[in-house]
Every structure is written in structure tokens, then in C-alpha cells.
């Protein structure tokens, strides 16, 4: 029988997540996409921020009230659910009061203006009536959204991010017009007419926004960093990671060295093997991906790595639709569905194979399994998490856990022999590790002020290597979203530690280690930070105790970031 406290926590979680779906900002990342209410538009005006802050205070007061009601005597599962909700509340504070991207970051604001249109294009046709209505509403709202974005940036905008956003918006009027025109044949004639009427004002507005960014970037403010103290607060209270920033950098540096050696040895060993050819066309790549996805599923089962129930949806490649391609810069071009569409197959849109393709697209065009082992892992993990019986864990999203599982899965399947027939794909997986380890170094050192922006750019240029323009864009994004780039590698190490400790515990107890069962638990609870999964799966609350030593998240939370160093020194 559940207690009043358990029921109360469950009700609070349900109410919070309904509110969060309606009020959270739009994101260009593919993991935290959520099913929005009909007619939803992002709000980022100062009045809305004040409203959101008051609502957060109300939820936080209710959440704190359960700490004095015998919470420690309840099952660990319930305590985990309560801590999850606390981390979600802390994230809202982090977004509203610390990052303040709603008034500083032109790239973020571009995402609020154009991103909802992009998101509505992602699910494959047909376009049902609600989606068509939402498309009209989003297009009609673009002029007012751009005016609000300009007003926010006039007050607190960052110059570097304005320049990055302006570059992204090059030719945006024609690109939006093309998207609308290419979409029209898929829509009802009434919707098409409404979009045709709304398009000129929307196109003029986004072009005006681009021109304003170009003209204003030099007079806007400097980059800002959250600083070490605030970043540690984020680690302890939002990501629920008990490690120090310097430990994260040291671990990433060591893994980078390991990956460089593994990549070099693998490339040297297979130096006489020709590289796999590009797929002949999109159809050939789509067909190869379907074969590869089945191969991955069979390997999971054959090697006893992860259960593959017949009901688990598929992950499929598809050609990039003509209405999506002009705006592909607005996010990851995939539809991983949502908590309400968990039974639908996930779709990843791929460009036409060509000699010059972005990094991950180029890898997929030669071996689609290189995409399956990461984005395909997201597809399965999210589907399993969304379908689990505990509602509080279906909604919680944290990139350290989600991206950590997917990055862990890459090396898991490499070790299991997936790429025994593809030596150069083995090299690419080692290179994935190398890139993501370097991201930790830049992400953490920027957030804590160890790197200035120029130093971070130079680090990427030398170590990846990477051109200055791309390195500047990457590092500017890291300044605005500290903690995201590190999530892949930090999360992977947390998963590895959990699995390794579970294996050692079974060995010491004289039991046979059930790797599949551990992976099933991790994937099913994959939205839950690994510190809490350790507590529930292993009975080890060492990480939880370390997190508790930092004190409650609502005591003396950080309130804002500081100007970044503009140069070394």
C-alpha cells in the first residue's frame, strides 16, 4: 500500500511535468524534445520569465515539504523519484536565472523563433489536422517572436553568439520560403492558403532579424561564463554528478590519449584495406541501414547484451524531405518520437551521399551502423524508458544519462564484434571517443574560466584538428550551454563504472554476472542519472551521500554568469 507521501510525490511529479511540457524552452538537441500542447509557442518575454519563476517557487515549496514527512523511511525507488523531481526543479532555475539564454543568446533565440516550425516538420507524413493548425500558428507568430528576440538581445545580448546566429541565418528568407513551398503539397488547401498568407510577413521578419544581428553584433556584450562555483552547483544539483570539474577533465584527457592510440593502431593494422565506398544514393543508404539495424538487434540478443522485445519500435533512415532540408541547421535531423508516440518507429533523415559531408553524415554514408550505435541507441533507450511503469521516470530527461548510454553503446558494440567486417569503421568509433573526450576539456574549462574563448578555439584547431570558423561556433555554443558537450563522455564513464561494479559484486558473491539484466535496467531507467541508478541497483549510496554534502539545491543557488576572459592571462 502506498503512503500519502508517495501519492503526493507522484501527483506533484505529474503536475510539474505537465507544466514543464507547456513552458520549457525549445531546444535544438534531440533528446529533450517533448510533446507540446496544441497551439504551443515558446515564451521568452520578461513577463513570462517572471511567471515561470513564481511557478517554480510554488513547485519547490511543495517538493521541500516532503523532506520532513519521513522520506528516508520510504522505499529507495520513491526517494529516487523525489530526488529526480528536485533535479528537474533545479534545472529550471539554472535555465532561467543562471544561463539566461532567453535574453543573451542569439542562437538560442533563433531556435525559439524558427525551431517550432522545424520540429513540426520532423514526424513523417501525413500531416494531421492538429499539426497543420500548429504550422499556421507558428508561422504567423514569427514576426512578434523576432521583435521579442531583438528586444531581449538589445538589453543583454552577447556579441559572439549574435555573429554565429547571423551566419546561420544567411539566406534565411529564401530558405524559409522554400520550406513553405515544398510543404504545401502535403497539406489541406485551407492550410496551404493560410501559410501562403502568413509567409511574407514571417520571411521579412526573419530577414530583418538577420540584418539586425549583423549590424548589432559588434556593440553587444562580451561572452559570459558561469564560473566554477556555479558549474559545481550544476553538477551536484542538476546533473547529479558528484565529481569535481578537474576530475572530469583528467578522465577525459586520459581517455583521449587511449583513443588516439587505439585509432592509430587500428588504422596502421588495416592500412592496406581500402575504405568502404559511399552509398550509391540515398535509397541504397536507407536499405543498408535497415539491414544494419537488424544486425545490431541480433547481436544484442546473440551476445546477451540487451533484450530486444518484438514490440520495440524500429529505427530507420529516410531521405531528407525537401521541406526540411533548407532549415536542417535548426537541430538534429531525426524524429525520435515522444512519450505519446512511443510505438512509432524513429526516423533519421540523411542527406544525399557525397564526397563532402558533415562528420557524422559522412560516417553513416559509408557504414550506417555508425549511426545506429548512437542515435539508434537513443531510439531504443527512450522507447524503453517512456514505456516503463513508473510515470515519474518517463518524463525526466538528462543528457549525461541519455548521451552517456548512447556513447557507452558505441564501444560496447565495437567490443562485441559488430565491426569485425569493417576495419575502418572500428577506426571511426575510436575517433568518436577522441572527439567527445576533447569536448569535455573545452566544455568544463570554458565553464570554470580556465580557458578563454580564444584559448578554447585554439585548442580545438590544434587537437581535432578543426578550422577556426567551426571551432569558434562550437566553443561559443559551449559557453552558452555549459554541461551539454561534456555529457557524452562523463555519462559513458558513469555507465562503465556502474556496470563494472555490478560485475565485480557478482564475482565476489560467487554469482554469475547477468550483463543483459544490468543493461536492461540501465536502458529502462536511462533517463535517471547514474548516481541514483547505483543506489537502486547496487544499494550503493556513496554518490548520493557525496551529492548531499553539497547541501540542498535551493539554498544559495547561483544567480547569473560573469563576463568571460577575452584572451589568455
Could you give the 3-state DSSP secondary structure of residue 349?
Answer: strand
For 193, residues 6+ apart whose C-beta sits below 8 A from its C-beta are none
Higher pLDDT, 470 or 101: 101
Percent of residues, the chain, with pLDDT higher than 70: 98
What's the CA gap between 530 and 506, in Å, rounded? 19
Q: Judge contact between 179 and 119, C-beta under 8 A.
A: no
Q: To 5 degrees, how large is the angle CA 247–CA 561–CA 251?
A: 10
pLDDT in the model for residue 487: 96
Q: The dihedral of CA 298, 300, 303, 309: what is its sign?
A: negative
For 340, residues 6+ apart whose C-beta sits below 8 A from its C-beta are 35
- Across 133-266, the runs of DSSP E, i.e. the strands, are 224-225
What's the CA gap between 136 and 142, in Å, rounded? 10
pLDDT in the model for residue 464: 80
Q: Judge contact between 391 and 10, C-beta under 8 A.
A: yes
Is 70 exceeded by the pLDDT of residue 10? yes
pLDDT in the model for residue 285: 98
Length of the chain: 569
Rounded average pLDDT over 423-438: 95
For the ranges 189-193, 443-447, 476-480, the lowest mean pLDDT is seen at 476-480
Is 50 exceeded by the pLDDT of residue 569? no
Integer angstrom CA distances of residue 316 from 19, 186, 293, 334, 371 = 32, 21, 8, 10, 10
Rounded average pLDDT over 388-417: 94
Higher pLDDT, 555 or 10: 10
Helix-, strand-, coil-residue percentages of the chain, each rounded to 5:
65, 5, 30
How many other C-beta atoms lie within 10 A of the C-beta of residue 327?
A: 19
Rounded average pLDDT over 535-557: 93
Q: Is 70 left (phi over 0), alpha (psi -120 to 50) or beta?
A: left
Rounded average pLDDT over 309-318: 96
How many other C-beta atoms lie within 10 A of the C-beta of residue 84?
A: 23
pLDDT in the model for residue 565: 60
Longest dimension (CA), the chain: 72
What is the residue-averaged pLDDT of the chain?
A: 94
When pLDDT is cut at 50, 70 and 90, the band that residue 568 belongs to is very low
The kind and range of the H/E element at 350 are: strand 346-350
pLDDT in the model for residue 567: 44
Higher pLDDT, 359 or 286: 286
Q: Judge contact between 540 and 534, C-beta under 8 A.
A: yes
When pLDDT is cut at 50, 70 and 90, the band that residue 1 belongs to is low
When pLDDT is cut at 50, 70 and 90, the band that residue 31 belongs to is confident
Is 90 exceeded by the pLDDT of residue 42? yes
Of the candidates 225, 219, 217, 98, which has an alpha carbon nearest to the alpha carbon of residue 564? 225
pLDDT in the model for residue 397: 81
For 482, residues 6+ apart whose C-beta sits below 8 A from its C-beta are 99, 225, 226, 231, 234, 443, 446, 447
For 555, residues 6+ apart whose C-beta sits below 8 A from its C-beta are none
pLDDT in the model for residue 59: 98
Q: What is the DSSP string of 267-296?
A: HHHTTTSPPPPPPSSHHHHHHHHHHHHHHH
Rounded average pLDDT over 522-549: 96
When pLDDT is cut at 50, 70 and 90, the band that residue 527 belongs to is confident
Q: What is the CA radius of gyration of the chain?
A: 23
- Across 144-300, the runs of DSSP E, i.e. the strands, are 224-225
Is 60 exceeded by the pLDDT of residue 342? yes
Rounded average pLDDT over 302-318: 97
Of the candidates 439, 538, 537, 524, which has an alpha carbon nearest to the alpha carbon of residue 490? 439
Rounded average pLDDT over 119-130: 97
Is 50 exceeded by the pLDDT of residue 411? yes
pLDDT in the model for residue 290: 98
Distance of alpha carbon 544 from the chain centroid: 24
pLDDT in the model for residue 528: 94
What's the CA gap between 118 and 112, in Å, rounded? 10
Amino acid at each position: 500500500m502506498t503512503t500519502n507521501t508517495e501519492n503526493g510525490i507522484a501527483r506533484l511529479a505529474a503536475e510539474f511535468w505537465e507544466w514543464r511540457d507547456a513552458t520549457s524552452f525549445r531546444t535544438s538537441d534531440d533528446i529533450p524534445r517533448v510533446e507540446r500542447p496544441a497551439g504551443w509557442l515558446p515564451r521568452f518575454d520578461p513577463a513570462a520569465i517572471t511567471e515561470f519563476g513564481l511557478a517554480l517557487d510554488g513547485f519547490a515549496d511543495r517538493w521541500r515539504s516532503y523532506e520532513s514527512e519521513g522520506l528516508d523511511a520510504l522505499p529507495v525507488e520513491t526517494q529516487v523519484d523525489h530526488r529526480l523531481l528536485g533535479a528537474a526543479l533545479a534545472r529550471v532555475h539554472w535555465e532561467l536565472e543562471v544561463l539566461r539564454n532567453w535574453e543573451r543568446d542569439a542562437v538560442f533565440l533563433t531556435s525559439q523563433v524558427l525551431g517550432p516550425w522545424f520540429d513540426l516538420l520532423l514526424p513523417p507524413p501525413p500531416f494531421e489536422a492538429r499539426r497543420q493548425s500548429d504550422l499556421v500558428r507558428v508561422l504567423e507568430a514569427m514576426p512578434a517572436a523576432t521583435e521579442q528576440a531583438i528586444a531581449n538581445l538589445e538589453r543583454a545580448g552577447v556579441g559572439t553568439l549574435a555573429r554565429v546566429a547571423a551566419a546561420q541565418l544567411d539566406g534565411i528568407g529564401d530558405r524559409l520560403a522554400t520550406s513553405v513551398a515544398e510543404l504545401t503539397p502535403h497539406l489541406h488547401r485551407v492550410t496551404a492558403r493560410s501559410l501562403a498568407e502568413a509567409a511574407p510577413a514571417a520571411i521579412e521578419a526573419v530577414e530583418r532579424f538577420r540584418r539586425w544581428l549583423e549590424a548589432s553584433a559588434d556593440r553587444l556584450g562580451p561572452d559570459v561564463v558561469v564560473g566554477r562555483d556555479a558549474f559545481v552547483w550544476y553538477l551536484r544539483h542538476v546533473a547529479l554528478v558528484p565529481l569535481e570539474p578537474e576530475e572530469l577533465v583528467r578522465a577525459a584527457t586520459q581517455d583521449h590519449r587511449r583513443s588516439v592510440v587505439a585509432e592509430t593502431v587500428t588504422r596502421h593494422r588495416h592500412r592496406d584495406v581500402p575504405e568502404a565506398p559511399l552509398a550509391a544514393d540515398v535509397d541504397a543508404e536507407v536499405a543498408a541501414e535497415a539491414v544494419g539495424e537488424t544486425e545490431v538487434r541480433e547481436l544484442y540478443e546473440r551476445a546477451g547484451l540487451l533484450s530486444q522485445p518484438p514490440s520495440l519500435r524500429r529505427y530507420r533512415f529516410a531521405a531528407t524531405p525537401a521541406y526540411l532540408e533548407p532549415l536542417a541547421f535548426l537541430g538534429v535531423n531525426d524524429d525520435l518520437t515522444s512519450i505519446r508516440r512511443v510505438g512509432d518507429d524513429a526516423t533519421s533523415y540523411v542527406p544525399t551521399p557525397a564526397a563532402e559531408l558533415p562528420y557524422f553524415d559522412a560516417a553513416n554514408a559509408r557504414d550506417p551502423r555508425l549511426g545506429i550505435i548512437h542515435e539508434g541507441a537513443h531510439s531504443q533507450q527512450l522507447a524503453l524508458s517512456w514505456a516503463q511503469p513508473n510515470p515519474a521516470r518517463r518524463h525526466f530527461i538528462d543528457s549525461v544519462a541519455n548521451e552517456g548510454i548512447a556513447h557507452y553503446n558505441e564501444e560496447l558494440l565495437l567490443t562485441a564484434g559488430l565491426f569485425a567486417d569493417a576495419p575502418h569503421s572500428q577506426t571511426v568509433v575510436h575517433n568518436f571517443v577522441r572527439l567527445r573526450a576533447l569536448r569535455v576539456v573545452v566544455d568544463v574549462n570554458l565553464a570554470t574560466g580556465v580557458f578563454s574563448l580564444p584559448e578554447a578555439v585554439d585548442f580545438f584547431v590544434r587537437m581535432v584538428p578543426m578550422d577556426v570558423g567551426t571551432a569558434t561556433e562550437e566553443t561559443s555554443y559551449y559557453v552558452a550551454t555549459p554541461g551539454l558537450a561534456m555529457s557524452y563522455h562523463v555519462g559513458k564513464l558513469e555507465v562503465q563504472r556502474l556496470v563494472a561494479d555490478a560485475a565485480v559484486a557478482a564475482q565476489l558473491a560467487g554469482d554469475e554476472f547477468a550483463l543483459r539484466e544490468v543493461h536492461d535496467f540501465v536502458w529502462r531507467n536511462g533517463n535517471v542519472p547514474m548516481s541514483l541508478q547505483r543506489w537502486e541497483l547496487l544499494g550503493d549510496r556513496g554518490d548520493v551521500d557525496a551529492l548531499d554534502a553539497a547541501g540542498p539545491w535551493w539554498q544559495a543557488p547561483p544567480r547569473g554568469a560573469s563576463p568571460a576572459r577575452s584572451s589568455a592571462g
